[in-house]
Structure 1
Amino acid sequence: MTDIIGSALLDYYHGNHTEDIVTETNITEEDVMPLPYLFRSYAEMPPIEQKALDLSYGKVLDVGCGAGSHSLYLKEKGLDVTAIDTSRGAVEVCKLRGLNQVAHIDLLQLKHKKFDTILLLMNGTGIFQKLEFVSTYLQKLKTLLAPKGQVLIDSSDIQYMFSSASLSGSDIVEDAHVLHPKDGYYGELEFTMTYKGKKSDPFYWVYLDATTFKKECRKNGFDFQIAHKGSHHDYLAKLTTDN
């Protein structure tokens, strides 16, 4: 599988930044993901990410760490941080930037570890892929939480992208079916990424509205509370258990 993110992060780190990553979904046109943004400082982060880092404590797991910006900030604060990512290139960049506890591993494969804070940021619910897999991931997160631990995860309600205007008119009935499938959830998007002429395989990425996410959390033994609301339908959730 082509490591689009890893290749781009390594290029930027080594000063070979000539273009950015281009993303596209089944409901949107091409969009640009600027590489410098992935190396941002705390001051450059959106309020939701700053809040998550401010709330972090104890032994921390940074899931989908990317270039390691969140982990580096927490490490500088003196916290014990472990970072993981499924991109080999991202893991290499994290090591080059000074993270010594970083691993190339899928969250579902991580075992025999306990953390006080588990971070999943930059639409952290995306790692669930589809609504049907949310329970699988929540149960896994539960096994990784230390007593009194917390999961800090952000997402967005993308219902705003499906305005009534875009769904009206007989000429776009087929589009309406795609946007609101009877057998699916509107927050499930299919993504592709392109970088320097190479294109990733399609992958699913789910955005969860708070009401749906809260139901899934309660079903899986988590207490759900919104720790911070963003300015554009986004939010930071704090998940805890009774243990």
Structure 2
Amino acid sequence: MADVFGMALMDYHQGNYTEDIITHSSLDEEDTIPLPYLFRDYEKMPPLEKKALALAKGKVLDIGCGAGSHSLYLQKKGLEVTALDYSAGAIMVCQERGVKSTVNSAILSYTDDKFDTLLLLMNGIGLAGKLNNLERFLQHLASLLLPNGQILLDSSDIIYMFDQDEDGGYWIPNTGQYYGEVEFTMTYKGHKSDSFTWLYLDYNTLSNACLSHNLNCELVCSGQHYDYLARITKK
């Protein structure tokens, strides 16, 4: 699988920025991931991310760290941070930007250490892929927590992307799958990624999944566009 994401991050980091990543999704929309946004400093981060960074404590695992912006901020605050990403290019960029501890791995393959805070920002729960993977994903995350540890994650309820009728109900295609499962491919400078599924999860579904697996789930705050920050702890 071409590391399209890592390639783009490396280009931007090395001063070869000429275009953004283009995403194609099963929602029939073409969109872009602006590379400068992935390198933003704290001032340019949305309120949900700032809140999560304020709540982060102790030993932190930044899951799906990308270019390492969250890790660098927490590191400067004096926290012990490990940045983890499946993209080798992303990890290389993190290292070159000064992140001290990095891991190039899929999160489900990682079992090396335990942490006080697991950080999954920029819709990090999307890494679960599909709703029927959520149970396994949450259990694995919980296994990486130290006593009194926490999982901080944000996501969006994408129900707003579907047509609404006069009664306020939504017209969701009956595909047999959860409406928040979105299939993506990324293209960048003629390179195309394999397709992958990303999970956008409404808070009630997350909360119910936690409840049935002996986890506490707390809605920390809601954003302006169907997005939210949640905190999960072991009971």
Matching residue of 2:62: 62
* Distance (whole Å) between structure 2 residues aligned to residue 152 and residue 212 of structure 1: 16
Matching residue of 2:26: 26
TM-score, normalised to structure 2's length?
A: 0.95
Matching residue of 2:114: 114
Counterpart AA for 1:57: K
Counterpart AA for 1:35: L
Counterpart AA for 1:37: Y
Q: Root-mean-square deviation (CA), in Å? A: 1.1
Matches within 5 A, 1:1-243: 1-164=1-164, 179-242=172-235
User: Which has the larger strand fraction?
Assistant: 2
Secondary structure of residue in 2 paired with 1:116? strand
Matching residue of 1:168: none
Taking every aligned residue pair, what percent have the same amino acid on both sides? 53
Matching residue of 1:172: none
What is the Cα deviation at residue 28 of structure 1?
Answer: 3.2
Deviations 1:118-168 (A, max 9, x none): 000101111000000001111101110000010000001100111236xxx
**Structure-2 change in CA distance of 1:127 and 1:235 (3 Å):** same
Counterpart AA for 1:104: N
Q: How many residues align?
A: 230
For structure 1, the 5+ residue unaligned runs are 166-175
What is the Cα deviation at residue 109 of structure 1?
Answer: 1.3
Runs of 4 or more consecutive aligned structure 1 residues displaced over 2 Å after TM superposition: 179-182
TM-score, normalised to structure 1's length?
A: 0.92
Stretch moving more, 19-28 or 51-60:
19-28
Stretch moving more, 217-226 or 231-240:
217-226
Stretch moving more, 76-85 or 24-33:
24-33
